[in-house]
Amino acid sequence: ASEVHTLSFIRRGRALGFSMAEIAELLKLWQNKQRASADVKQIALTHVADLDRRMAEMAAMRKTLTELAHCCAGDSRPDCPILSGLAQ
């Protein structure tokens, strides 16, 4: 593949959130015409599972922060449930 195609492949991989190590492995597979598509699929499915895990973690963080913000009066008083929650 030309350098332009390789760079485009890398850019698309990064846009999908693949690590550089994963992209390097995918590049090797892309360039290997004897590859098994099962190897490529396994990398993709492992990445999807990682994305699912990270999304669940972020949803939990969002829920906690939303609850803390809801408990905060947001006025001129010094007491703040957000800071109290962070200090626990």
Every domain of the chain and the residues it spans: 3-87
Model pTM score: 0.77
- Extract the tokens encoding 68: 């803390």
Structure tokens at 19: 């690590």
Give the amino acid at 3.
E
pLDDT in tens, 22-34: 999 999 999 999 9
Tokens 């963080």 -> residue: 61
pLDDT at 4 over 80: yes
| Spatial contact of 72 and 81, defined as CB atoms under 8 Å apart | yes
Read off the pLDDT of residues 45-86 as tens digits, 9 standing for 90 and up: 999 999 999 999 999 999 999 999 999 999 998 999 999 999
- What pLDDT sits at residue 88? 87
